[in-house]
Amino acid sequence: MARGRITQLSVHDVRFPTSLGGHGSDAMHTDPDYSAAYVVIETDAEDGLKGYGITFTLGKGTEVDWSRERCSASGHGSRSECCVGPVGKAGREEEQMLRHGYPAYTTSCAWLGYSDSTLKQLCAAALKDGWTRFKVKVGADLQDDIRRCRLIRDMIGPEKTLMMDANQRWDVPEAVEWMSKLAEFKPLWIEEPTSPDDILGHAAISKALASLGIGVATGEQCQNRVIFKQLLQANALQFLQIDSCRLGSVNENLSVLLMAKKFGIPVCPHAGGVGLCELVQHLIIFDYISVSTSLQNRMCEYVDHLHEHFKYPVVIKHASYLPPKDAGYSTEMKEESVKKHQYPDGEVWKKLLVAQDSCSQP
Protein backbone atom coordinates (compact mmCIF):
# COMPACT_ATOMS: atom_id res chain seq x y z
CA MET A 1 0.00 0.00 0.00
CA ALA A 2 1.32 3.45 -0.89
CA ARG A 3 2.25 5.58 2.11
CA GLY A 4 2.05 9.33 2.35
CA ARG A 5 2.44 12.28 4.65
CA ILE A 6 -0.33 13.61 6.86
CA THR A 7 -1.79 16.65 5.15
CA GLN A 8 -4.86 17.42 7.26
CA LEU A 9 -6.40 16.59 10.62
CA SER A 10 -9.99 17.30 11.58
CA VAL A 11 -11.74 16.67 14.90
CA HIS A 12 -15.51 16.40 15.25
CA ASP A 13 -17.65 16.63 18.39
CA VAL A 14 -20.27 14.02 17.51
CA ARG A 15 -23.15 13.50 19.95
CA PHE A 16 -26.25 11.33 19.80
CA PRO A 17 -29.26 12.29 21.99
CA THR A 18 -29.61 8.86 23.58
CA SER A 19 -30.85 10.40 26.82
CA LEU A 20 -34.21 11.08 25.17
CA GLY A 21 -34.99 7.36 25.21
CA GLY A 22 -33.17 6.39 28.40
CA HIS A 23 -30.59 4.44 26.38
CA GLY A 24 -27.32 3.96 28.24
CA SER A 25 -28.76 4.92 31.63
CA ASP A 26 -27.26 3.34 34.74
CA ALA A 27 -26.76 4.02 38.44
CA MET A 28 -23.98 6.57 37.83
CA HIS A 29 -25.19 8.11 34.56
CA THR A 30 -28.92 8.71 34.53
CA ASP A 31 -29.23 10.60 31.23
CA PRO A 32 -26.12 10.15 29.05
CA ASP A 33 -25.86 11.30 25.45
CA TYR A 34 -23.57 8.78 23.79
CA SER A 35 -20.88 10.83 22.07
CA ALA A 36 -17.41 10.73 20.56
CA ALA A 37 -14.44 12.87 19.70
CA TYR A 38 -14.05 11.68 16.11
CA VAL A 39 -10.74 12.29 14.35
CA VAL A 40 -10.05 12.08 10.61
CA ILE A 41 -6.48 12.16 9.34
CA GLU A 42 -5.90 12.70 5.61
CA THR A 43 -2.70 12.02 3.68
CA ASP A 44 -1.25 12.74 0.26
CA ALA A 45 -0.99 9.01 -0.56
CA GLU A 46 -2.05 8.16 -4.10
CA ASP A 47 -4.73 5.74 -2.90
CA GLY A 48 -6.34 8.37 -0.66
CA LEU A 49 -5.25 6.73 2.58
CA LYS A 50 -7.09 8.09 5.63
CA GLY A 51 -7.11 7.29 9.33
CA TYR A 52 -10.12 7.45 11.65
CA GLY A 53 -10.13 7.64 15.43
CA ILE A 54 -12.77 7.56 18.14
CA THR A 55 -12.78 8.44 21.81
CA PHE A 56 -16.13 7.50 23.36
CA THR A 57 -17.66 9.87 25.93
CA LEU A 58 -21.04 10.67 27.47
CA GLY A 59 -21.25 14.19 26.02
CA LYS A 60 -19.46 16.74 28.17
CA GLY A 61 -16.28 14.68 28.15
CA THR A 62 -16.02 15.20 24.40
CA GLU A 63 -15.02 18.81 25.04
CA VAL A 64 -11.92 17.61 26.90
CA ASP A 65 -11.05 14.95 24.35
CA TRP A 66 -11.74 17.35 21.49
CA SER A 67 -9.07 19.77 22.65
CA ARG A 68 -6.60 16.99 23.47
CA GLU A 69 -7.02 15.19 20.18
CA ARG A 70 -6.59 18.37 18.17
CA CYS A 71 -3.09 18.42 19.61
CA SER A 72 -2.18 14.73 19.60
CA ALA A 73 -4.52 13.07 17.07
CA SER A 74 -4.62 9.95 19.19
CA GLY A 75 -7.22 7.31 18.50
CA HIS A 76 -7.77 4.35 16.27
CA GLY A 77 -6.78 4.20 12.62
CA SER A 78 -9.09 2.62 10.13
CA ARG A 79 -7.45 1.44 6.92
CA SER A 80 -3.99 1.65 8.41
CA GLU A 81 -4.79 -0.77 11.25
CA CYS A 82 -4.87 -4.52 10.92
CA CYS A 83 -8.04 -6.52 11.39
CA VAL A 84 -9.09 -10.12 11.55
CA GLY A 85 -10.91 -10.05 8.22
CA PRO A 86 -11.27 -13.04 5.91
CA VAL A 87 -8.84 -15.91 6.32
CA GLY A 88 -7.31 -18.31 3.85
CA LYS A 89 -6.88 -21.91 4.98
CA ALA A 90 -8.80 -22.03 8.24
CA GLY A 91 -7.73 -23.87 11.39
CA ARG A 92 -10.07 -25.04 14.13
CA GLU A 93 -10.46 -21.60 15.74
CA GLU A 94 -10.89 -19.79 12.42
CA GLU A 95 -13.48 -22.33 11.34
CA GLN A 96 -15.39 -21.79 14.60
CA MET A 97 -15.49 -18.05 14.02
CA LEU A 98 -16.51 -18.31 10.38
CA ARG A 99 -19.29 -20.80 11.10
CA HIS A 100 -20.62 -19.69 14.46
CA GLY A 101 -19.04 -16.37 15.43
CA TYR A 102 -18.01 -15.16 18.87
CA PRO A 103 -20.66 -15.45 21.63
CA ALA A 104 -22.22 -12.19 22.78
CA TYR A 105 -24.50 -10.97 25.56
CA THR A 106 -26.99 -8.11 25.42
CA THR A 107 -27.32 -5.06 27.66
CA SER A 108 -29.87 -3.38 25.39
CA CYS A 109 -33.04 -4.48 27.17
CA ALA A 110 -32.27 -3.53 30.78
CA TRP A 111 -31.01 0.05 31.03
CA LEU A 112 -31.86 1.55 34.41
CA GLY A 113 -33.99 4.31 32.92
CA TYR A 114 -36.31 1.96 31.04
CA SER A 115 -39.89 1.48 32.21
CA ASP A 116 -41.08 -2.01 33.05
CA SER A 117 -43.12 -2.14 29.86
CA THR A 118 -40.10 -1.21 27.74
CA LEU A 119 -37.94 -3.72 29.58
CA LYS A 120 -40.48 -6.51 29.02
CA GLN A 121 -40.91 -5.64 25.36
CA LEU A 122 -37.17 -5.57 24.64
CA CYS A 123 -36.46 -8.67 26.68
CA ALA A 124 -39.17 -10.61 24.84
CA ALA A 125 -37.75 -9.44 21.50
CA ALA A 126 -34.23 -10.49 22.55
CA LEU A 127 -35.44 -13.95 23.53
CA LYS A 128 -37.20 -14.29 20.18
CA ASP A 129 -33.93 -13.36 18.43
CA GLY A 130 -32.09 -16.13 20.24
CA TRP A 131 -30.27 -14.26 23.00
CA THR A 132 -29.34 -16.41 26.00
CA ARG A 133 -27.14 -14.00 27.99
CA PHE A 134 -28.50 -10.81 29.54
CA LYS A 135 -27.11 -7.99 31.66
CA VAL A 136 -29.16 -5.74 33.94
CA LYS A 137 -28.12 -2.41 35.43
CA VAL A 138 -28.35 -2.19 39.24
CA GLY A 139 -27.14 -0.01 42.09
CA ALA A 140 -29.49 2.96 42.51
CA ASP A 141 -32.22 1.46 44.72
CA LEU A 142 -32.13 -2.01 46.27
CA GLN A 143 -35.86 -2.68 46.25
CA ASP A 144 -36.13 -1.50 42.65
CA ASP A 145 -33.20 -3.76 41.73
CA ILE A 146 -34.91 -6.75 43.36
CA ARG A 147 -38.12 -6.05 41.47
CA ARG A 148 -36.41 -5.55 38.10
CA CYS A 149 -34.10 -8.56 38.49
CA ARG A 150 -37.06 -10.76 39.40
CA LEU A 151 -38.93 -9.50 36.36
CA ILE A 152 -36.02 -10.30 34.05
CA ARG A 153 -35.19 -13.65 35.64
CA ASP A 154 -38.84 -14.71 35.39
CA MET A 155 -38.86 -13.77 31.69
CA ILE A 156 -35.60 -15.45 30.67
CA GLY A 157 -35.98 -18.49 32.92
CA PRO A 158 -33.46 -20.20 35.22
CA GLU A 159 -31.29 -21.73 32.50
CA LYS A 160 -30.18 -18.51 30.78
CA THR A 161 -27.27 -16.38 31.96
CA LEU A 162 -27.83 -13.16 33.90
CA MET A 163 -25.17 -10.58 34.77
CA MET A 164 -25.42 -7.38 36.84
CA ASP A 165 -23.62 -4.04 36.51
CA ALA A 166 -23.42 -1.41 39.28
CA ASN A 167 -21.22 1.09 37.38
CA GLN A 168 -18.98 1.84 40.40
CA ARG A 169 -21.88 2.92 42.61
CA TRP A 170 -20.99 1.20 45.90
CA ASP A 171 -18.26 1.13 48.53
CA VAL A 172 -16.91 -2.29 49.48
CA PRO A 173 -19.21 -3.26 52.40
CA GLU A 174 -22.23 -1.92 50.51
CA ALA A 175 -21.36 -4.00 47.44
CA VAL A 176 -21.14 -7.19 49.49
CA GLU A 177 -24.40 -6.49 51.35
CA TRP A 178 -26.30 -5.45 48.20
CA MET A 179 -25.18 -8.43 46.16
CA SER A 180 -25.98 -10.82 49.00
CA LYS A 181 -29.59 -9.70 48.62
CA LEU A 182 -29.50 -10.06 44.82
CA ALA A 183 -27.87 -13.50 44.94
CA GLU A 184 -31.26 -15.24 44.69
CA PHE A 185 -31.35 -14.27 40.99
CA LYS A 186 -28.17 -16.27 40.32
CA PRO A 187 -26.02 -13.65 38.57
CA LEU A 188 -22.86 -14.88 36.91
CA TRP A 189 -21.06 -11.68 37.87
CA ILE A 190 -21.37 -8.23 39.37
CA GLU A 191 -19.65 -5.70 37.14
CA GLU A 192 -17.81 -2.63 38.49
CA PRO A 193 -19.13 -2.99 42.05
CA THR A 194 -16.89 -0.19 43.32
CA SER A 195 -14.30 2.39 42.21
CA PRO A 196 -12.32 1.03 39.25
CA ASP A 197 -9.06 2.14 40.89
CA ASP A 198 -9.68 0.21 44.12
CA ILE A 199 -7.69 -2.96 43.50
CA LEU A 200 -7.89 -4.24 47.07
CA GLY A 201 -11.57 -3.30 47.29
CA HIS A 202 -12.33 -5.48 44.29
CA ALA A 203 -10.28 -8.27 45.86
CA ALA A 204 -12.29 -8.04 49.09
CA ILE A 205 -15.59 -8.10 47.20
CA SER A 206 -14.41 -11.03 45.08
CA LYS A 207 -13.48 -13.03 48.17
CA ALA A 208 -16.74 -12.22 49.96
CA LEU A 209 -18.98 -13.18 47.03
CA ALA A 210 -17.19 -16.40 46.12
CA SER A 211 -19.35 -18.50 48.42
CA LEU A 212 -22.45 -17.13 46.68
CA GLY A 213 -21.17 -18.21 43.28
CA ILE A 214 -20.98 -14.60 42.06
CA GLY A 215 -17.87 -13.47 40.19
CA VAL A 216 -16.48 -9.94 39.87
CA ALA A 217 -16.07 -8.39 36.43
CA THR A 218 -14.22 -5.13 35.87
CA GLY A 219 -11.79 -3.32 33.59
CA GLU A 220 -13.76 -1.01 31.30
CA GLN A 221 -12.38 2.03 33.18
CA CYS A 222 -8.79 0.74 33.33
CA GLN A 223 -6.50 2.80 31.13
CA ASN A 224 -3.30 0.72 31.15
CA ARG A 225 -1.91 -2.78 31.56
CA VAL A 226 -0.44 -2.01 35.01
CA ILE A 227 -3.88 -1.72 36.62
CA PHE A 228 -4.87 -5.01 35.01
CA LYS A 229 -1.67 -6.62 36.26
CA GLN A 230 -2.52 -5.60 39.81
CA LEU A 231 -6.14 -6.77 39.52
CA LEU A 232 -4.92 -10.15 38.29
CA GLN A 233 -2.21 -10.50 40.93
CA ALA A 234 -4.67 -9.64 43.72
CA ASN A 235 -7.28 -12.17 42.55
CA ALA A 236 -9.65 -9.21 42.31
CA LEU A 237 -11.65 -10.37 39.30
CA GLN A 238 -12.99 -13.51 37.68
CA PHE A 239 -13.89 -11.85 34.37
CA LEU A 240 -11.61 -9.29 32.71
CA GLN A 241 -13.19 -6.49 30.68
CA ILE A 242 -10.96 -4.63 28.27
CA ASP A 243 -12.27 -1.48 26.57
CA SER A 244 -11.00 -0.93 23.03
CA CYS A 245 -10.98 2.88 23.37
CA ARG A 246 -10.02 3.52 26.97
CA LEU A 247 -7.07 1.14 27.03
CA GLY A 248 -5.24 3.37 24.62
CA SER A 249 -4.06 1.24 21.72
CA VAL A 250 -4.17 -2.14 20.08
CA ASN A 251 -0.77 -2.98 21.59
CA GLU A 252 -1.93 -2.19 25.14
CA ASN A 253 -4.98 -4.39 24.65
CA LEU A 254 -2.83 -7.23 23.37
CA SER A 255 -0.64 -7.00 26.48
CA VAL A 256 -3.70 -7.42 28.67
CA LEU A 257 -4.98 -10.37 26.61
CA LEU A 258 -1.64 -12.11 27.14
CA MET A 259 -1.72 -11.48 30.89
CA ALA A 260 -5.27 -12.80 31.12
CA LYS A 261 -4.10 -15.96 29.37
CA LYS A 262 -1.24 -16.34 31.86
CA PHE A 263 -3.59 -16.02 34.85
CA GLY A 264 -6.32 -18.17 33.32
CA ILE A 265 -8.95 -15.39 33.48
CA PRO A 266 -11.53 -15.15 30.67
CA VAL A 267 -11.73 -11.88 28.75
CA CYS A 268 -15.29 -10.55 28.32
CA PRO A 269 -14.86 -7.09 26.78
CA HIS A 270 -16.91 -3.99 27.47
CA ALA A 271 -18.64 -2.70 24.34
CA GLY A 272 -21.60 -0.59 23.23
CA GLY A 273 -21.24 3.19 23.32
CA VAL A 274 -20.23 4.82 20.05
CA GLY A 275 -18.27 2.35 17.93
CA LEU A 276 -17.01 0.16 20.76
CA CYS A 277 -18.63 -2.98 19.34
CA GLU A 278 -17.12 -2.22 15.93
CA LEU A 279 -13.64 -1.91 17.42
CA VAL A 280 -13.63 -4.70 19.98
CA GLN A 281 -14.80 -7.38 17.53
CA HIS A 282 -11.26 -7.46 16.12
CA LEU A 283 -9.72 -7.94 19.57
CA ILE A 284 -12.00 -10.75 20.74
CA ILE A 285 -11.60 -12.76 17.57
CA PHE A 286 -7.83 -12.29 17.70
CA ASP A 287 -7.88 -13.40 21.35
CA TYR A 288 -9.75 -16.58 20.50
CA ILE A 289 -7.73 -17.48 17.41
CA SER A 290 -4.23 -16.54 18.59
CA VAL A 291 -4.21 -16.32 22.42
CA SER A 292 -6.87 -18.08 24.47
CA THR A 293 -8.17 -20.61 21.87
CA SER A 294 -11.09 -21.08 24.23
CA LEU A 295 -14.68 -19.86 24.48
CA GLN A 296 -15.26 -21.19 27.99
CA ASN A 297 -16.86 -18.49 30.15
CA ARG A 298 -16.15 -15.99 27.37
CA MET A 299 -18.57 -13.57 25.78
CA CYS A 300 -18.53 -10.01 24.49
CA GLU A 301 -21.01 -7.27 25.31
CA TYR A 302 -23.34 -6.07 22.59
CA VAL A 303 -25.54 -2.98 22.68
CA ASP A 304 -27.95 -2.46 19.80
CA HIS A 305 -27.52 1.30 19.44
CA LEU A 306 -25.94 3.61 16.83
CA HIS A 307 -24.43 0.99 14.52
CA GLU A 308 -26.29 2.53 11.59
CA HIS A 309 -23.92 5.50 11.74
CA PHE A 310 -20.85 3.42 10.84
CA LYS A 311 -19.67 2.61 7.35
CA TYR A 312 -18.72 -0.94 8.35
CA PRO A 313 -21.11 -1.86 11.18
CA VAL A 314 -20.69 -4.95 13.29
CA VAL A 315 -22.70 -8.00 12.20
CA ILE A 316 -24.56 -10.06 14.82
CA LYS A 317 -26.14 -13.41 13.97
CA HIS A 318 -27.57 -15.96 16.39
CA ALA A 319 -26.41 -13.78 19.32
CA SER A 320 -22.79 -13.91 18.13
CA TYR A 321 -20.29 -11.52 16.53
CA LEU A 322 -19.46 -12.58 12.98
CA PRO A 323 -15.90 -11.88 11.75
CA PRO A 324 -15.62 -8.56 9.87
CA LYS A 325 -14.94 -8.88 6.14
CA ASP A 326 -13.61 -5.38 5.47
CA ALA A 327 -10.06 -4.19 5.98
CA GLY A 328 -9.35 -1.79 8.82
CA TYR A 329 -10.49 -1.29 12.40
CA SER A 330 -14.15 -0.55 11.49
CA THR A 331 -13.88 2.98 12.92
CA GLU A 332 -15.05 5.04 9.95
CA MET A 333 -18.37 6.82 10.45
CA LYS A 334 -20.75 7.88 7.69
CA GLU A 335 -20.12 11.47 6.65
CA GLU A 336 -23.81 12.31 6.74
CA SER A 337 -24.14 11.02 10.31
CA VAL A 338 -21.17 13.07 11.46
CA LYS A 339 -22.58 16.17 9.79
CA LYS A 340 -26.08 15.77 11.26
CA HIS A 341 -24.89 15.00 14.81
CA GLN A 342 -22.07 17.53 15.06
CA TYR A 343 -22.47 19.45 18.32
CA PRO A 344 -23.87 22.09 18.54
CA ASP A 345 -24.26 23.05 14.86
CA GLY A 346 -25.52 19.81 13.32
CA GLU A 347 -29.10 19.52 12.16
CA VAL A 348 -30.13 17.23 15.03
CA TRP A 349 -28.72 19.46 17.77
CA LYS A 350 -29.93 22.72 16.28
CA LYS A 351 -33.50 21.44 16.54
CA LEU A 352 -33.05 20.03 20.04
CA LEU A 353 -31.36 23.13 21.44
CA VAL A 354 -34.04 25.39 19.99
CA ALA A 355 -36.70 23.19 21.59
CA GLN A 356 -34.89 23.28 24.93
CA ASP A 357 -34.63 27.07 24.81
CA SER A 358 -38.34 27.33 24.06
CA CYS A 359 -39.21 25.14 27.04
CA SER A 360 -36.96 27.08 29.42
CA GLN A 361 -38.43 30.48 28.58
CA PRO A 362 -41.25 31.79 30.83
Q: Which residues are designated catalytic?
A: 137, 270
40: region left, alpha or beta (phi > 0 left; psi from -120 to 50 alpha): beta
**C-beta separation of 322 from 316 below 8 A:** yes
User: Which residues, in sequence order, are bridge partners of residue 136?
Assistant: 164
Distance between CA 73 and CA 65 in Å, rounded? 10
For residue 262, CA distances in Å to 166, 233, 265, 291 come to 28, 11, 8, 10
Compute the distance between CA of residue 278 and CA of residue 244 in angstroms, rounded to an integer: 9
Go through 317-345 and write b for each residue having 16 or more CB atoms within 10 A of its CB, e for each that does not: eebbbbbbeebbbbbbbeeebbebbbbee
Query: Please, are residues 217 and 268 in contact by the beta-carbon 8 Å criterion?
Result: yes
Peptide bond into 344 cis (omega under 30): yes
Distance of CA 68 to the CA centre of its chain: 22
283 neighbors 268 (Cβ within 8 angstroms) = no
